[in-house]
């Protein structure tokens, strides 16, 4: 025990200073919020042709990209000969409204995630029950990272609990497979009102790469109402935490 305490003292303070300090540095291969240039597009549609989820639409020579469907593979950026699509390193992707996840030319604003009603109810303390509704465990893994020493989700008054009876809401990952539909509904019903729902990852937001498959739904909104959408495949831990903090205005 003495050795453990000594090592811990030598390690010092490991929790990051963000959001009070600098944001965590994103890795070189990180793919963040896309920026679309309307002046460059010639309407060829090459970007839409290579998109594996159909997240891109081209109409009247203008591109729109649904980050709720996007898996951030970057194929569209490589396919565009006019450099009309560029993925940046902005991890602030979460939105309170599904329609605000659609990026259009000239619209590089961070989506609004704040809810005054939710802030008043849960601004000081938020307990969440996590539900994996047929996910691959990538989003689940990045959500679990928030409980580590470096991120320390609990310092914001946000914690995960074991029972929906003790929760203020649920955080859902996965596209909601047919086999998980009833379990998700029962978990939602077990949470006392008022309650919130957070959809994390492209699959939970829209179905992701499973969108249109008969074995799954098109994400959480097809089953229960959603208060916060966190896109990504999987979303970076910073994206998830940023969404939670902006939802509560912390």
How much is the average pLDDT of 199-215?
94
Lowest mean pLDDT among 1-5, 162-166, 213-217, 229-233: 1-5
- In order of their start, the domains of the chain are 116-248 (3.40.50.12280)
Give the DSSP letter string of 193-236.
SS-EEEEESHHHHH-GGGTT-TTB-SSGGGTS--SEEE--SSPP
How much is the average pLDDT of 172-193?
97
Residue 42 pLDDT: 77
Q: Residue 120: which H helix or E strand, with range?
A: helix 116-122
CA distance 83 to 76: 10
- pLDDT greater than 70 at residue 11: no
First to last CA, the chain: 36
Give 78-89 pLDDT, tens digit per residue.
998 888 899 999
Give 129-162 pLDDT, tens digit per residue.
999 999 999 999 999 999 998 999 999 999 999 9
Give 17-29 pLDDT, tens digit per residue.
999 999 989 998 9
Residue 229 · residue 101 · CB < 8 Å: yes
What token pair was written down for 246? Answer: 């902006």
What token pair was written down for 154? Answer: 């609990």
Q: In what order do the strands lie in the sheet with 102-103?
A: 56-59, 62-66, 102-103
Residue 34 · residue 86 · CB < 8 Å: yes
Give 56-70 pLDDT, tens digit per residue.
998 887 899 999 999
As a residue count, the chain comes to: 250
Residue 190 pLDDT: 98
In terms of Cα–Cα distance, which of 18, 16, 239 is closest to 139?
239
């Amino acid at each position: 025990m003495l050795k453990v305490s000594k090592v811990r003292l030598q390690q010092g303070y490991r929790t990051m200073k963000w959001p009070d300090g600098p944001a965590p540095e994103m890795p070189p291969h990180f793919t963040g919020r896309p920026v679309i240039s309307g002046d460059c597009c010639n309407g060829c549609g090459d970007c839409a042709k290579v998109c594996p989820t159909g997240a891109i639409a081209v109409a009247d020579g203008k591109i729109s990209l649904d980050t709720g469907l996007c898996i951030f593979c970057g194929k569209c950026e490589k396919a565009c000969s006019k450099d009309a699509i560029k993925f940046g390193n902005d991890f602030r992707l979460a939105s309170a409204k599904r329609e605000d996840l659609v990026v259009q030319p000239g619209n590089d604003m961070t989506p609004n995630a704040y809810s005054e009603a939710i802030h008043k109810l849960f601004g000081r303390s938020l307990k969440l029950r996590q539900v994996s509704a047929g996910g691959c465990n990538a989003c689940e893994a990045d959500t679990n990272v928030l409980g580590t020493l470096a991120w320390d989700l609990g310092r914001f008054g946000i914690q995960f609990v074991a029972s929906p009876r003790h929760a203020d809401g649920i955080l859902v990952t996965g596209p909601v497979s047919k086999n998980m539909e009833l379990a998700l509904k029962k978990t939602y019903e077990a949470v006392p009102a008022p309650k919130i729902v957070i959809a994390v990852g492209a699959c939970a937001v829209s179905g992701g790469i499973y969108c249109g498959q008969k074995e799954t739904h098109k994400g959480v909104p097809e089953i229960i109402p959603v208060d916060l959408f966190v896109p990504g495949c999987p979303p970076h831990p910073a994206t998830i935490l940023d969404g939670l903090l902006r939802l509560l205005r912390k």
